[in-house]
Chains A and B, each alone.
Chain A
Amino acid sequence: AQRVTQPEKLLSVFKGAPVELKCNYSYSGSPELFWYVQYSRQRLQLLLRHISRESIKGFTADLNKGETSFHLKKPFAQEEDSAMYYCALKREYGNKLVFGAGTILRVKS
């Protein structure tokens, strides 16, 4: 079975500090990995996916198959980045998403 682990429930950083939200997964095939974000009182929305290899709102994430990780990084945190972040996995032959438990990112001024 697939599993996604986000070891931190809460990550608190100061504005301008670097951010790294950790995500590890267990799956033997070739998954697609995603980061979803939920801002306060908003719905869950896609932030980025590993196949796009793009930077969204300054965030990047690289799939490391050797370490089975997909950590989310941003060099300089902003207050508006404060939100709940979920890492999610989809199998290559499937449609359902398997989510981690989420990490709350709090950016302090």
Chain B
Amino acid sequence: GAGVSQTPSNKVTEKGKYVELRCDPISGHTALYWYRQSLGQGPEFLIYFQGTGAADDSGLPNDRFFAVRPEGSVSTLKIQRTERGDSAVYLCASSPQRGLYNEQFFGPGTRLTVL
């Protein structure tokens, strides 16, 4: 079946603009994660959804970042007043259910460039 998909694959924006990044998880996966990967670093956790609710948003760097998952499937990561430091690859992952031993399946990422 189809894996996790993310759109757009690339996004170039100007400092101060608003952007939305979309994630389509694997069908039936109840858990969804957002990570951010800066150049030369490993992915860094942002937020985790279980169903429609954000179960852990401790990784969101500040209140310019917000994510939703209104129907428990597709999720949108929203960044307001973008800054050059927000430039990174934003990764989405999904897993079948909560619990200790469930594999996270990653999408291809969205490369965000803030000029």
Interface residues of A (CB under 8 A from B): 4, 32, 43-46, 49, 51, 86, 88, 90, 92, 94-102
Give bound CA distance, A86 to B48, whole Å.
20
Q: How many residues of B contact A (CB 8 A)?
A: 28
B56: contacting residue among A49, A86, A96, CB under 8 A? A96
> Which residues 76-115 of B have a CB within 8 angstroms of A?
91, 95, 98, 100-101, 103-109
Q: Which residues of A contact B43 (CB under 8 A)?
A: 44, 86, 97, 99
Per the bound structure, the CA–CA distance linking A96 and B100 in Å amounts to 10
> Judging by beta carbons under 8 Å apart, are A44 and B100 in contact?
no
Contact between A43 and B56 (Cβ–Cβ < 8 Å)? no
Are B106 and A44 within 8 A (Cβ)?
yes
Is B56 touching A94 in the complex (CB atoms < 8 A)?
yes
Complex Cα spacing A89 to B48, Å: 16
Residues of chain A within 8 A (CB-CB) of B100 are 32, 90, 92
B106's partner among A43, A92, A96, A100 (CB-CB below 8 A) is A43
Q: Can you show 14 pairs from A to B with CB atoms below 8 A apart?
A: A43-B3, A43-B107, A45-B105, A46-B103, A46-B104, A51-B101, A86-B42, A86-B43, A95-B56, A95-B95, A95-B98, A97-B35, A99-B35, A102-B42
